[in-house]
Amino acid sequence: MKTDTPSSLNTKNRHRVRVGRSSAGLGLFASDSFKKGERIVEYTGKRLTNEQVKRVVENRYLLEINDRYTINGSSRENIARYANHACKPNAIAETVRGRAFLIAKKAIRPDEEIVWDYGKEYFNDFIKDGGCRCTTCVAKRKTAPGGAVKPV
Ligand SMILES: [Zn+2]
């Protein structure tokens, strides 16, 4: 069985996105405009069964595609892994016949950061304790009264 998904869309679309500096470290940015519903890049990686995932060292780039399979997107070849989490995203991850794609949720302009909602489980495991760094949450903390002060 072939486990690595072909990345023809990534080859085709690679020049339409770039990795750059974002508020949360590195991020994925549009170099071109994308129409609502358009595929941006494929989320590529080795396909693991969900049983295998339980034995694999936990990493931040596991994307569950259905109740049987998960993509391990930790390879640097997977440019989609650079897309950060946001609570108000402009993209979504969608699976099509066992492959996963980042799809524009709305029209995206060049230089916009491409972000998607990683989901509740990821949020609770990796984001919540450190505080979400997406623009919506950062803005919320800045405007909240006493938001910068930690409770004793
Ligand atoms: Zn957030």
For the domain made up of 8-143, give the CATH fold: Beta-clip-like (2.170.270)
pLDDT of residue 146: 58
pLDDT, tens digit, for every residue of 34-85? 999 999 999 999 999 988 888 876 678 889 888 889 999 999 889 999 999 9
How far away, in angstroms, is 50 Cα from ligand 1 center? Answer: 27
Residue 32 phi, psi (nearest 5): -135, 170
pLDDT score of 139 more than 50: yes
3-state secondary structure of 136: helix
How far away, in angstroms, is 4 Cα from ligand 1 center? Answer: 31
How far away, in angstroms, is 101 Cα from ligand 1 center? Answer: 21
pLDDT of residue 3: 43
Encoded tokens for 65: 């595609």
pLDDT score of 98 more than 90: no
Q: How far apart (Å, rounded) are the C-alpha atoms in residues 94 and 70?
A: 13
How far away, in angstroms, is 11 Cα from ligand 1 center? Answer: 30
Q: How far apart (Å, rounded) are the C-alpha atoms in residues 37 and 3?
A: 27
Alpha helices in 14-102 (DSSP H): 50-55
Sign (positive or negative) of CA dihedral 7, 5, 119, 122:
negative
DSSP 8-state code for residue 108: B
pLDDT: is 142 or 82 the higher one?
Answer: 82
pTM passes above 0.85: no
pLDDT of residue 122: 79
pLDDT, tens digit, for every residue of 2-33? 444 445 566 677 789 999 998 778 999 999 99
3-state secondary structure of 34: strand
Nearest to 75 by CA among 7, 146, 144, 143: 7
How far away, in angstroms, is 132 Cα from ligand 1 center? Answer: 5
How far away, in angstroms, is 134 Cα from ligand 1 center? Answer: 4
How far away, in angstroms, is 136 Cα from ligand 1 center? Answer: 6
How far away, in angstroms, is 28 Cα from ligand 1 center? Answer: 16
pLDDT, tens digit, for every residue of 100-119? 999 999 999 999 999 999 88
How far away, in angstroms, is 103 Cα from ligand 1 center? Answer: 19
How far away, in angstroms, is 127 Cα from ligand 1 center? Answer: 9
Q: Would you kindly state where each structural domain of the chain is located, as residue ranges?
A: 8-143
Asked if 84 contacts 62 with a C-beta cutoff of 8 angstroms, the reply is no
